[in-house]
């Protein structure tokens, strides 16, 4: 009898430099709250955010999303450029709730229910995922389909 092991596709063992959901959200949040001169006491630095739980990073990222939505267009453009330079998804992609939900599922490494299957299938058919993320989506879908057919 073989066992099925699930490995999160965002873990470094599965690809080149795939960032975890926590790393993506921490970097994004740090960029939004960046004050120019980083301080060791600044709770919104990437290093400090990564020390917290995934839940706390998600909460901080939600605040960062709200703040970025209020920025002037030129500030959003600068932020988008910094995000691109850091290898992060675009600001528009980060504002997409389906993308953030996909990150949660991909980080877990398994689709648990039909609703998640539909979300991953839907997102996989758009251009918001990178090629690596799209590959992960297809693997998640294939795994779910094999166990639920």
pLDDT in tens, 47-83: 889 999 999 999 999 999 999 999 999 999 999 999 9
More confident residue, 36 or 73: 73
Q: DSSP letters along the chain, please?
A: --------TTSGGGSSSPPPHHHHHHHHHHHHT--SS--TT-TTSHHHHHHS-HHHHHHHHHHHHHHHHHS-HHHHHHHHHHHHHTTPPPHHHHH-HHHHHHHHHHHHTS--SHHHHHHHHHHHTSSSS-HHHHHHHHHHHHHHHHHT-
Whether the predicted pLDDT of 41 surpasses 90: no
Q: Give the pair of three-digit tokens for residue 110.
A: 């398994």
36 pLDDT tier (thresholds 50, 70, 90) = low
Domain boundaries, the chain: 19-95, 96-149
Q: Give the pair of three-digit tokens for residue 23.
A: 């790393």
């Amino acid at each position: 009898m073989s066992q099925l092991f699930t490995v999160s596709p965002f873990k470094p063992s599965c690809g080149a430099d795939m960032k975890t959901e926590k790393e993506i959200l921490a970097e994004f949040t740090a960029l939004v709250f960046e004050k120019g001169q980083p301080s060791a006491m600044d709770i919104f630095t990437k290093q400090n955010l990564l020390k917290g739980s995934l839940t706390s990073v998600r909460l901080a990222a939600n605040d960062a999303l709200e703040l970025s939505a209020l920025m002037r267009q030129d500030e959003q453009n600068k932020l988008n450029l910094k995000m691109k330079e850091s290898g992060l998804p675009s600001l528009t992609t980060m504002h997409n709730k389906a993308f953030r939900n996909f990150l949660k599922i991909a980080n877990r490494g398994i689709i648990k229910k039909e609703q998640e299957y539909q979300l991953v299938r839907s997102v996989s058919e758009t251009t918001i995922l990178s090629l690596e993320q799209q590959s992960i989506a297809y693997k998640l879908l294939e795994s779910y389909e094999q166990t639920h057919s």
